[in-house]
Every structure is written in C-alpha cells, then in structure tokens.
Structure 1
C-alpha cells in the first residue's frame, strides 16, 4: 500500500516508518518537524514528505498521490502540552484531525487509521476496560480523542474505513526520544541522578505498551481484511501489561543499580487511573504479536541512556521533554503562539 503517515518525524512515527517499509509499504510523510532537535537514537528515515501543517491540508493536496491509507499520528502529544493552551489541543487534535479525514475521504483514500488513546477512559478504576467501556476523559487531550472517534464514525462508509487504535501509554527507545512519559522518565531520572522520582503517589494504574509494539499494531491493522477492522476500536497493548506507577518504579529499581525512590515536591494522587483489556486486538487482528514487556523496555532504556551518554543536564534540557522544547521554540520566536513556524 501507499501510506501517508502524519507525524512521521515524531516519537512514534520515526519508529513506525521503518516498520511499515519492512512490510513492503510505500510511505509518504506529513510533518512540520517541530521536534527536529530531539534526536537521540539515530535519525528518522528519510521519506518523501508533504511539508504542510496538518491544519491546512485539503483534498487537493492528497488528490493524485494515489494514497491507499492514512495513518494519523500527528497531535499535541500529552497533557502538559494541552495545558499550554487547551484551545490549541482542540484546534490541532480535534478540528484538524477531522478535516484531514474529510480531505482523505474526498481524495479517494480507503483506510484511515487514527492514533487514539486509552486516556479517553480517564478515571476508570480497577476493572480492566474493554472497547465498550464508557468514555470518561479528564483532560482536553483525552476529550479530543473521544470526539475525533465520534466524528470519524459518521464518515465511515463502504469506500472509507476508519479504525481507532487506542494506544496504551507508550514507552521505549526511539530515534526521536521522549523522556516525558512515565517509564522513559523514571529510567532517565534513575540513570542521571540515582533517584527514581515519582510525581504521583504511585497508586494510579497505567496500561503500558512499547513504541515498537504500537508500530506493529498499526502495521497489522493495515494488513488486516477491511471487513474485520472497519469502524472498529482496538485497545493497543499486551495482556498483563497494566501497572501501578509504584510497580514501574520497583522494576526500575531492580534494573538500575543503587537507586533511591523519591517523590516530587507536589506528588499526589493522579485522577488518571485506568486498566485496560487488550484481548480484542489479539482476537480480531491475528497479525499483531507484541514482543515487549515493561521490564525489557526498562533494560533497553537503561542501556541506551548509558550508551548515549544521557546526563542530568541533557535530561533537564528541552530536547527530550516536548513542553520544554515548544517553550524554547516560542521564546526564540521560531514558532508563534499557534505553533506555526515563523516566516523568518
């Protein structure tokens, strides 16, 4: 297939592109490369790229490219970025996503794989939630995912097949590293300070999935028969990979030597608290074969941080924390408050 991947230069996209290529797909990217300063483990694979802000994409931009499928990853990626300006989250994650889907449908694209999130379950408690669970988002990020899924459902038809991949919380090494997600963050703290620093009281549940297993899920859904995945939601993760944050910290302490557990100054209970059932994707998408556990991912990160020379100054800097990098770009007038690149 010829596949357009939005956000192909990001944390997830930079690892997904080579996975798709390894399965014989022809990849085109769409990304304004806000995080070009965030390389850690190599550089993203070079593919033909539409250098268009996704808020500006029209059917005319896609017509004639013979695109079979869109994998839509591009978004403001976490809650701290949403807090920067909640309206931007709705402008980019919601309105632009729906507009992109409409443009894709109008241009003849048949499949639209949307990178949704288990965060739309919000405060779910101790029960493992399947795809029929009620939505209970507690942030603009989570709400935007709910509303995009609902909008895409109205676009579904015989010639346009949307799929909603609700990723668990990602972790693991990437060419475009993020250290602002829980597993990567805890390991980075341990590697650079000798401390495992928790920003919550350690009790919230999180479903977790390695970045490469997410890439594998999208590739498997892309290859699945359309009738089995049409207008379906799938929780993306691996059975047994729901953890309380304190359990993650214990794994980090077991892998990284001589670490002391500590709590941030404002550590408190986190209202984001949910466990997830992943059986549907295993049942309906047999090509999906997740390989990673959190322990293996912690071992991977610990080795990579040592090999890559991760220091406390590097970790405290902007490169691997998305909010800090956006703030740096804004302070330098490289991007405006709307997160568009300045004309200069």
Structure 2
C-alpha cells in the first residue's frame, strides 16, 4: 500500500507565497494587525487573570466584614434563640446581596436556630466550618471555586461566653462575570481605538513610505524604457528613500550620458564613413582628370585632427596638382 503523496508546499510556504504577492502597504497592515491581535490577546488574558484574583481578594475582604457585622447584630437574638429576629436581621442583607446564597445560625448547643438558602445549589462543608468556629472560637474561612464560606463565632459582649456561630456562603460567580463583562467592554472600546490608531498608522506609513517607493518604482520603470528626461522626486529626503532616489537619479544621469556618448560615437562613425566616401569620389575625379572637387573641411571639423588633416591634405593635393597642370599647359602653349 503506497502512502499518500505529500503536498508540494507546506502551509508556511503557502502563507509566505500569499504575503509575497501583497503590496507593501498591505504587508505593513497585516504585520501591524497581527502584532496588535497578539498583544491584545495576551493583554486580555493577563488582565482577566489579574482582575479575577484581585476581585476575589477584594470581595473576600468585604464578605468577611459583612460576616463580622452580622455576627455582632445577631448576638442577642441568638442568645434568646429568637429565630424571627434573626431572620429580620440577615434577610435584608441577603436580599440586597444576591451573591449571599446561604446563612446558617447555630446555637452553642448545636441547635440550628435560623437557616437561609437562596436556591437548591447549596454547597457542602459549611457545617464543618461552624463546628471549627465553635470549637476554636475563631473565624474560619474556606474558598472553593467561586464559593467563599465564612464561619464566625458569636460571643457575649464580654467575649467570655460562647453563644453560637454564624455561617455564610457567597457565590461569587455573578460577581466575577460582572467584572469580566466590564473588562470586555473596556477592552472592546480600547480595541476599537487601537484599530482606528492602526488605520491612521497604516495611512501615514502609506503616505510617507509606500507612496514614495511606488513613485520610485514608476521612475525606475520609465528609466528602464530609456526615457532619461523623467524627474526623480525625493532626492532631497534625508532617509533611506532619499538615498535610493539620489542613486536612481545618478543612475539615470549615467545612462543618459552613455546614450549621448553612444549617439556621438555613431554620428562620428557616420561622418567618418561620409569622409571616406568623399575621398573615394575625389580620387575618382582625380583619375578622370578633374581637380575641382575639394572636400569641405568645415563639414568634417567635428572629427579629430587626423581626419581634418586628411581633408586638408587632399585639398592641398588638388591645389598642387592643379598648379602643376596649369604650369604644364602654360609651358606647352608658350612652345
């Protein structure tokens, strides 16, 4: 059995290929957005964890204060085992604080004088804390998940006689959810502000960096088409783009100079060929006995001195030959 063929390109290669096909401004936007999302995710997790810990600690302190306050208030009703008065004391607090889900008031004899539960989901373990508070005469705390349990011993005013204990259970899930909800709102607002900031940054980068680079790219394309009259913008900048623009301008000038020199060389070569043609014609005329076909020196004055001297020498030959012929004719006529 043959194994399935491996894909030719991995996920990383495909992502890299996709990014390479994007424009520079799009790449900058993707990188900034990715950095923002990573920072946002890490910050959100850290803030949520810190706020959760701080919120629970703060809530636990408040709950301990409430438990101590209620323990002071129920001293006399507990001493007289007055369940109705006990209920009148803790019920308004329970109605106001929805996170207070259970209250249990126990007499020192072990009798449960008053009990309150806000629902069926009542945690176990409160009785154990009440027993510890009655035995040790000290406040006892226990936290489990989102539950916080406090058992407070209730003593007489002189602090010598143990009257009983009061146990309280708070469910802090709703408190944490409210805290996290507020965090999410704040983070969402911050995220919107950050996204607007990113949009502004991308726009500024596009105007300050991407647009000049695109302009340079267009200028390079024009220079590659042998159009050396184009003006290179950005040469007065002091950054890397200015350096690139200055180098491109120097490259353009070099190519333009080479093109001009090449044109001059071609013109000079054509002029030399023309001179040689004139010399050939002149020699043909000389062979036919004509001495009235001089070469215009001014026409070939742009050539080097050697070529000009060739013109002058040819013309001198014509003049000398004409003089010789004239002398011969004059001598012949005199004879």
Q: Do both proteins adopt the same fold according to a TM-score greater than 0.5, normalized to the shorter chain?
A: no
- Structure with the larger RCO, 1 or 2 (CA within 8 Å, 6+ apart): 1
TM tier, shorter chain?
A: under 0.3
- For normalisation by structure 2, the TM-score amounts to 0.16
- More helix by proportion, 1 or 2? 2
